[in-house]
Amino acid sequence: MTMRKGFVIWLTGMSGAGKSTTGQLLEQRLRAAGVTQVEVLDGDAVRTQLCKGLGYSKEDRDENVRRIGFVCELLARNGVAVIVAAISPYRAARDAVRARVETFIEVHVDCSLAVLVERDVKGLYKKALSGEIAHFTGVSDPYEAPLAAEVVIDSASESPEESLDKIWSALTGRGLVLKGLAPNYRPAPLIDLHSHTNESDGTFSPAELIAEAQRVGVRTLAITDHDTFAGYDQAVQFSMEAGVHLICGIELSTKWNGTSVHLLGYFFDQTKMTGFRKWILELQTSRKDRNRRLIERLREVGVNITMEEVDARGRGMTGRPHFARVLMDKGYVSSIQQAFDVYLADSGKAYVDRMEPPFAEAVRMIRDAGGITSIAHPVRWNGDFAGALPALCKTGLHAIEAYHSDHSSEQREHFLFLAKQHGLRVTGGSDFHGAVKPGIQLGTGREENVCVPAEVLLAFPQG
């Protein structure tokens, strides 16, 4: 398809209404329809790259919109379809952009304050309503809704696809895309909130993981390496260049009633991360101590490998998968799975325990860093997971990872039911590790059994 001219689709609405998610879905549909020149200007990324240093006064907010508008004008003039996802609270500033762009489609992403408060797992709206946060749009600072937006969508009552269809109708009605092209298109799985790089126990470098996300169509990706942000930190620049929305995440090993439980953390407030990162360094020390004891135990059962051999594969964040690779390379086992079954799993003859933080402490540390918490792959829970949930919820748990490569469709539905029953959100992802788990693909899991719906993102602070 040949695009006749560039245009700007401006998604405006309050924080958490769903602008970013809608923008990502719209980008996917445009590209599927043959529109190759598409750029997304997301409010958070723009503030980091284009508008760094601006505050939240009316003047600074207007300047933020003016700069975005200038970029939009240049791109649209050169035939690019531009999607903007920004709060842009003041009507006059938005209208000023409209005046300088030939084809401007304003989309009001509406959502009631009550729903926004319910979605806001970080509690920012509640803090603003109680006066703890100043200059919060829609509470202590105004949000001026459009008076005559070309499209109005309600993310509280409409599905993302219903909202997308409204925008698509506006585009076809103006001849910006041709009617009949991809009217029934639904994006392929494009959200993966559980993946690993070679900075923990994956085999893809951060750059390679972002390239893989771009290749398979994952548009929103969380890197959740074990006990480290090294992979995420390296991937930030690559993700911006590739157009992949990257979420800061981590996977922690914790203890609950003597059992190891994996806990995911997401959506951290970067201004509150100093203490959490220091705490993570302490966990890394515990990991190194466990590895030393594991080497000693392996020698006791007749396996001669060195810490240097294992660390060469672990890049400073050595874990049991790296031990497994050495065992396979030296001929002690024929596969990574056999290495775990015989030596490394909880029932293996060389297993050694690791000092892991209590589950409640890990939840508290993530929350203090502005993040949200989700129990990883609950199908692996040792014991009565449903029976433990009331106590887990009392620790401040936010969510359950209902979508995972290890879950059958029946198990997924069961975890979705439990989440609803206990007032929890859900998360999901492939748990991609690369060559270590060759049957699991990024974005789609094992034999395409993972498809994280856009509604999952709408429950969290995505704009």
What's the pLDDT at 286? 81
Closest CA to 167 of 155, 69, 156: 155
Residue 461: the pLDDT is: 64
In the block, tokens 């919820």 appear at: 393
Of the candidates 70, 87, 371, 138, the one whose C-alpha atom is nearest the C-alpha of residue 247 is 371
Residue 394, classified by CB atoms within 10 Å of its CB into exposed (0-12), middle (13-18) or buried (19+), is: exposed
**From CA 65, how far away is CA 43, in angstroms rounded?**
9
Pairing of strands 151-154, 440-441: unpaired
Give the model's pLDDT for residue 121: 75
All residues at 6 or more sequence positions from 157 whose CB lies less than 8 Å from its CB, including other chains: none
Q: Averaged in consecutive runs of 10 residues, what is the pLDDT profile of the chain (463 residues)?
A: 72 93 88 83 79 85 94 91 95 95 96 90 87 90 95 92 92 77 46 94 94 92 94 94 92 92 93 92 85 92 91 77 90 91 89 88 96 96 94 97 94 94 95 91 92 81 51
C-alpha to C-alpha distances, 403 to 84, 119, 121, 422, nearest whole angstrom: 29, 19, 19, 17
Of 145, 181, 184, 175, nearest to 7 by C-alpha is 175
Q: Which amino acid is at 208?
A: E
Cite the residue boundaries of each domain of the chain with CATH code 3.40.50.300: 7-173
Helices and strands, number each (H, E), in the chain: 17, 14
Give the residue numbers marked as catalytic.
88
pLDDT of residue 3: 41
Q: What class, spelled out in words, does domain 7-173 have in CATH? A: alpha beta
For residue 28, how many C-alpha atoms fall within 13 Å in the half-sphere facing its CB? 28
Location of each CATH 3.20.20.140 domain in the chain: 188-463
CA distance 272 to 267: 11
What does pTM read for this prediction?
0.65
Residue 98's nearest CA partner among 111, 82, 109, 110 is 82
pLDDT of residue 179: 57
Which DSSP category does 432 fall into? Answer: B
Residues with Cβ within 8 Å of residue 11, at least 6 apart in sequence: 19, 22, 23, 83, 84, 85, 86, 107, 109
Quote the Cα angle for 397-403-409, to 5°.
125
Q: Please report where in the chains the tokens 């995972």 appear, as a residue.
A: 404
CB neighbour list of residue 24: distance below 8 Å, 6 or more residues apart: 40, 190, 219, 220, 245
Q: Are residues 169 and 199 in contact, defined by beta-carbon separation less than 8 angstroms? A: no
**What is the per-residue burial (b if ≥16 Cβ within 10 Å, else e) of 89-119?**
bbbebbeebeeebebbbbbbbbbeeebbbeb
188-463: CATH superfamily: Metal-dependent hydrolases (3.20.20.140)
First to last CA, the chain: 31
Q: Is the C-alpha dihedral spanning 444, 449, 451, 456 positive or negative?
A: negative
Distance in angstroms (rounded) separating the CA atoms of residues 33 and 40: 16
pLDDT at 316 (0 to 100): 64
